[in-house]
Amino acid sequence: MWLAVITLFPDMFHAITESGITGRAIKRNQVQFCCINPRDFTTDNYHRVDDRPFGGGPGMVMLAEPLEKAILHAKALAVSAGYSKVPVVYMSPQGTTLNEAGVKQLVEHDGLIVLCGRYEGIDERIIEQYVDQEWSIGDYVLTGGELPAMVMLDSMIRRLPDVMSDQQSAEQDSFVDGLLDCPHYTKPDVFNGVAVPAVLKTGHHLNIEKWRFLQRYQRTKTRRPELLASVQLTRQQKKWLKDDVDTALSDSVKKS
């Protein structure tokens, strides 16, 4: 995948390029990544990239011309790398809220140009003329688009083929099938008087799978019940839920 980020703070993306799974993917050339600074496309001595907004008001707005040149430069780089259709994505609180379905959609592209705004935002004409998609990571205000871009890119890169050392891990993460994750345990067997659930030490894979599913379902029901409306359960999972309800009812009858 080919990725370019247009940002005034390219050093921030060392967190993506030099660390963890994303850093390894870039070093292995599974992902081609570059940062483009709009200041490099200014023509004045001060390399100015912002100005006061028309109509007055607080803050500054990023200038259209340096951003346009940066976007066109990114598009030219994409073409030279063999990618002719690379959408421009703007990180914006007005965009679609990013979720797992959105990440899957983004990963289907051969590449992306990610535009990070600062200050009060960017000149609207850049959005109208060049931006193909707008994405948000939540309903709150940050100082710029860099952190949201890193969140989005991290989620995308880890879903690319062969990036994760254990692909099953990516497939079983929270939200992949609409449910939250289950509890996880490792050594020691007992910590502060709390033992690891016995089923996890039985080696019985089907029982472990059942336990993990029931834990995930219950956590989702308790913490994010709205997610259950879109969850598609398998026949086996429906049976496990029914068995769990029947067991709970039986236990209740015995106690009474």
Active site residues: 93, 120, 158, 173
> CB count, 10 Å around CB of 56?
6
- Please tell me whether 206 is known to bind a ligand: no
Comparing CA positions, the residue from 210, 220, 216, 222 lying closest to residue 247 is: 210
Instruction: Concatenate the DSSP letters of all residues of 152-194 into one string.
Output: HHHHHHTTSTTTSSSHHHHHTSTTSSSSPPPP---S-SEETTE
- Please tell me whether 145 is known to bind a ligand: no
Q: What is the dihedral of CA 191, 192, 198, 204, to 10 degrees?
A: -20
Comparing CA positions, the residue from 186, 66, 75 lying closest to residue 117 is: 66
User: What value, to the nearest 5°, has the Cα angle with vertex 225 and ends 224 and 228?
Assistant: 110
* Mode of pairing for the β-strands spanning 2-6 and 111-116: parallel
Beta bridge partners of 4: 34, 113
Give me the amino acid identity at 143: T
Cα dihedral sign for 236, 241, 244, 245? negative
**C-beta pairs of 196-205 under 8 Å, 24+ apart in sequence:** none
- Please tell me whether 132 is known to bind a ligand: no
- Please tell me whether 140 is known to bind a ligand: yes
- Please tell me whether 141 is known to bind a ligand: yes
Binding-site positions: 117, 137-142
Binding-site positions for S-adenosyl-L-methionine: 117, 137-142
